[in-house]
Amino acid sequence: MARRFPRVMGLAKMCRNRNISFKSLDPPSSLTHGIHIFHCPDAVGIVAKLSECIASRGGNILAADVFVPENKQVFYSRSDFVFDPVKWPRVQMEEDFLKLSQTFNAVRSVVRVPALDPKYKIAVLASKQDHCLVDLLHGWQDGRFPVDITCVISNHYRGSNTHVIRFLERHDIPYHYLCTTNENKREGEMLQLVQNTDFLVLARYMQILSGNFLRSYGNDVINIHHGLLPSFKGGRPSKQAFEAGVKLIGATSHFVTEELDAGPIIEQMVERVSHRDNLQSFVQKSENLEKQCLSKAIRSYCELRVLPYEEKKTVVF
């Protein structure tokens, strides 16, 4: 996805299997920031038409990325631009990008204006461990995520004097305790609670969501796995890694699919370990990675940096 320049004819053809970035100075405060992502069959002139669409309405591209995989007739792009909402109303913008998507038979064309569009509505699912949940809540409080948290759902009971419950009550975020069993995962009730959300975040939710739940929900679900996938899938990956004597441990944030711990990967982070580490230090390092990795994945998703690529991959700009 790369552009902020006039001489871009056929850029996609020139830049096979490469991620290119073009950036300019910060925009004047009177202008509004927009983001556009595009996924379509590859063709000559896509970047030029994207530029023309924005420039013809007085907009200016500040940064852009293009990715055209080698030997694949497919085009991906992400553009950061600024515009004057008076000259380019939000409704007109949707119409302009819709025409562009029809011209190139786009698989996906999404435009977002963070200052004008509603924040993403999310629900957070968590189990007993608090570290990812607490980090996410404080990140939301600090404004790091452009989301509204509609509720927190957990299969673990938390008392009224716990840090999590006090925080949620202070911010009027409902907490739903749903005791689950092997025979009853309470998925019907969960679906009712999350039906108006844009996506879900599993902040160390240690229950497997069924294929029926995922199909019924229909939106993306982001999970954090305390291991460097595809190694050490399933339960207790830190213990698996410790016993395997690895020298790097990691955390993986990925989309949830019916296949356990096998969804498209959004973000991964690693840290070096040695023979001097014990299981406790493995876990402590892993938990720090999990918080950072999940936070980065949520931000990337909200900033329209994540696009599906083939069946089990992602493009992350």
- Residue 266 contacts residue 257 (beta carbons within 8 Å): no
142 is annotated as an active-site residue: no
The rounded distance, in Å, linking the Cα atoms of 147 and 289 is 22
Across all residues in the chain, what is the average pLDDT? 88
Query: Could you give the CA distance from residue 64 to residue 48 in angstroms, rounded to a whole number?
Result: 12
pLDDT digits (tens, 9 = 90+) for 135-178: 999 999 999 999 999 999 999 999 999 999 999 999 999 999 99
Residue 9: inside a domain, yes or no? no
Range of the domain at 90: 32-112
Q: Is the pLDDT of residue 182 over 90?
A: no
Read off the CATH number of the domain in which 92 is found. 3.30.70.260
Tokens for 68, please give them: 């055209």
132 and 249 share a domain?
yes
Quick check: is 180 in a domain?
yes
| Whether pLDDT at 49 is above 90 | yes
Residues 131 and 275 in one domain: yes
pLDDT at 116: 95
104 with 146, same domain: the answer is no
Residue 125 lies in a domain: yes
Tell me: do 206 and 175 sit in the same domain: yes
Catalytic residue among 80, 130, 220, 261: 261
Specify if 27 maps to a domain: no
Residue 5, in any domain of the structure: no
Q: Which of 113, 157, 159, 167 is nearest to 136 (CA)?
A: 167
Q: Which of 96, 112, 128 is the last residue of a domain?
A: 112
pLDDT above 70 for 22: no
Residue 28 scores a pLDDT above 80: no
Residue 19: what pLDDT?
52
Which of 112, 128, 143 is the last residue in one of the domains? Answer: 112
Position 279 scores a pLDDT of 80
| CATH of residue 250 | 3.40.50.170
Instruction: Please tell me whether residues 150 and 298 are part of one structural domain.
Output: yes
Q: Is the pLDDT of residue 122 over 60?
A: yes
Q: Are residues 197 and 49 in the same domain?
A: no
pLDDT in tens, 194-252: 999 999 999 999 999 999 999 999 999 999 988 777 666 666 766 777 777 778 888 99
d(CA 240, CA 233): 9
Would you say residue 15 has pLDDT above 60? no
**Residues 140 and 259 both lie in one domain:** yes
Within 10 Å of residue 218's Cβ, how many Cβ atoms?
7
Residues of the chain with pLDDT > 70, as a percent, come to: 88
Number of domains in the chain: 2
Please report the pLDDT score of residue 3 as a whole number: 36
Domain boundary among 87, 112, 137: 112
* Lateral strand order in the sheet of 265-272: 175-177, 147-154, 120-126, 199-202, 220-225, 248-255, 265-272
Q: For residues 26 and 3, what is the distance between their CA atoms, to the nearest angstrom?
A: 15
Q: Is residue 7 part of a domain?
A: no
86 and 212 in a common domain = no
The answer to whether residue 23 is domain-embedded is: no
Looking at the structure, do residues 190 and 286 belong to the same domain, yes or no?
yes
Tell me, yes or no, whether 262 and 134 share the same domain.
yes
Neighbour count for residue 310 (Cβ, 10 Å): 11
Say yes or no: 106 and 210 in one domain.
no
Residue 23, pLDDT score? 54
| 87 and 210 inside one domain | no
How confident is residue 24, by pLDDT bands cut at 50, 70 and 90? low
**Does residue 13 fall inside a structural domain?**
no
